[in-house]
Structure 1
Amino acid sequence: MAAGLRKYVEAIPGRPLPHGILLNTCTDVRDVTDEHELLGIEWLGLGCCPVNVWRDPCTDESLGGESPGQPPQKEFCRPTAEHADPITVYAGAECSTMGWTYAEARTHAEASLELGEQEAVEAGFWTNTLAMTAQDLTPAAGPVNIAQGVAALEGCLAEQYGGVGTLHVPAGAAAVLGCCNLVHRDGNGSLSTLAGNCAVIGAGYSAMNTGPGNIPADPGTAWLYITGPVVVRRGPTVTIPDRPGASVNIRTNDLRVLVERSYVVATTCVVCAIQVVTCP
């Protein structure tokens, strides 16, 4: 059939991956109205200091019944200041003024952002936070199998935080998790490890797949990260321009509409990373 006879229909709709950072029910996503929160936030870390067991030298036989020198003292921990910076994601639509109206271009850009913003937020969080702050647990011998990798990450989290955390997995490695029965689906639809940590499987993580320092993964390998809980602050969408006239470039007769949104993704206490093998 000739191209000129084809019927114009609506675009094929899509859905973001269900276990990504914005749709996973174990991630705390908050719609905020205070624009100051979208410029970046800071707080004192909670749960990062250890809770110690007191050993009384008068009753603890392992201490020999005597304490030479200064008597034991209970330890105090000064909370660490933590912060998170904004991530702005956007989608733009461009067309000839003879092809689309402003309303059509705006609708298209808004739909594009809705479909792809989760992937963009994941990529920004991975690149700016995970890969820039992680402790690398990969042994000198090189990447490990995925079960060993998850075990090492959960051990790192437990030792330094102790609460429920978040495992961050590239979508390209998700099938390997299933082969080893490393995660299961909770009653609320989220994915959790056997230890009880939340699992986020991200398309944006898969697109990045870099290790600490944002060094790309070797072929046949993937990077996994684990963190404390994740809180996502989300602002409203902003359309630029917000009226038809300003969207037209009179020099080229093109129409442009941009839709953007700011996020602040925060986690706490610890970020650990390990490189795993994704093929036998």
Structure 2
Amino acid sequence: MRTVVEAIPGTPLPHGILRAACTNVEDVTKARIHELNGVEWMALGCCPVQDWPDPCLEESPGDESPGAPRQKEFCRPTVEHAAPITVYAGAECSALGWSFAEARAHAEASLALGEQMALEKAFWRTKLAMEAVDLTPAAGPVSVAQGVAALEGCLAESYGGTGTLHVPVGAAALLGCCDVLSKNPETGGLETLVGNCAVLGAGYSALNTGPGNIPAEPGTAWLYITGPLFVRRGPADTVPTSSGPSINYRTNDRRVLVERTFVVATTCTVCAINVEVCL
């Protein structure tokens, strides 16, 4: 007869969306709990800063008409927003074999291990794949290094600050072998030569869809880039909160649910490109 032992513990991937060094994760307090319903803000950094040449250095127009005087340009900031994403883990077992405390502990442990992957899948499906500008050339997928270069160029032109690469873990090794990413010795995060950081997501790899959530062709992967990430994280809530309501007396099964709400925000352009994952 087999001996019952403790479950094998696990650790979420170190460079996922909740653990990457460059992701700002903030636990929402009770005083700001309404932020978990979604947030909006005036975009900062998406409007270009223009140069104004010294008129004394401009060439004289001579006899030609100078035309209309040059005007300084003004940019009206756009309002951006981020919607809530709720992830959950549910535990179900016979009420005779599991106490409420055991079921709750199992659901909490499941959430702690899997919430990062679930959040990555939801963010990829609802934000990245729905809003990205597709940079893939007409000739088809490019190499990983070419893809990262194109994405960084797209972000630099629209934002100018450091941002975030979103990479399926199935393509992550190729960024290492091509020296596209290196580890920052101070933060432990993964960065490109330009300084953009990388989130290597198991949830990203599970989906691997392009703009419009169209699945990638075999042998290819989709990479995305955004501005910086700011994640608001709510508390883990247990449903129900006591033993009695957790039992279905017709089947004598116990069900306990643990869920948490996140709001993942980023800014300016989302760019995507299809890359080859075969060397």
Q: Same fold (TM over 0.5)?
A: yes
**1:161, 1:67 → 2: CA distance?**
36
Structure 1 gap segments, 5+ residues each: none
- C-alpha offsets along residues 13-33 of structure 1, whole Å, 9 cap, x if unaligned? 000000001011200000012
Contact persistence 1:143–1:221 (CA under 8 A)? yes
Structure 2: which amino acid aligns with 1:254?
A: D
Alignment partner, residue 227 of structure 2: 228
Alignment partner, residue 88 of structure 1: 86
Shift of 1:68: 2.4
Contact persistence 1:57–1:67 (CA under 8 A)? no
**1:225, 1:7 → 2: CA distance?**
47
Taking structure 1 as the reference length, the TM-score comes to: 0.96
- C-alpha offsets along residues 122-149 of structure 1, whole Å, 9 cap, x if unaligned? 1111000000000000000000000000
Q: 1:67 and 1:145, CA in 2 relative to 1: closer, same or farther beyond 3 A? A: farther
**1:56, 1:50 → 2: CA distance?**
19
Contact persistence 1:96–1:255 (CA under 8 A)? yes
- C-alpha offsets along residues 34-69 of structure 1, whole Å, 9 cap, x if unaligned? 2210001000100000011112444222x7477623
**1:89, 1:248 → 2: CA distance?**
22
Which secondary structure does the structure 2 equivalent of 1:213 belong to? Answer: helix
Q: Within the alignment, does 1:31 sit opposite 2:31 as a pair?
A: no
Shift of 1:229: 0.4
Q: Within the alignment, does 1:239 sit opposite 2:235 as a pair?
A: no
Alignment partner, residue 141 of structure 1: 139
Question: How big is the alpha-carbon RMSD for the aligned residues of Structure 1 and Structure 2?
Answer: 1.1
Shift of 1:177: 0.6
Aligned runs of 1:1-280 on 2, under 5 Å?
5-33=1-29, 34-61=32-59, 64=61, 68-187=66-185, 188-280=187-279
Structure 2: which amino acid aligns with 1:173?
A: A
Structure 2: which amino acid aligns with 1:20?
A: G
**1:224, 1:207 → 2: CA distance?**
13
- Percent identity between matched residues is 71
Which secondary structure does the structure 2 equivalent of 1:154 belong to? Answer: helix
Count of residue pairs the alignment pairs up = 275
Deviating above 6 A after TM superposition, structure 1's stretches of 4 or more consecutive aligned residues are: none
Structure 2: which amino acid aligns with 1:228?
A: G
Structure 2: which amino acid aligns with 1:98?
A: L
Shift of 1:98: 1.5
Structure 2 gap segments, 5+ residues each: none
Shift of 1:245: 0.7
Which secondary structure does the structure 2 equivalent of 1:148 belong to? Answer: helix
Contact persistence 1:163–1:228 (CA under 8 A)? yes
**1:176, 1:59 → 2: CA distance?**
49
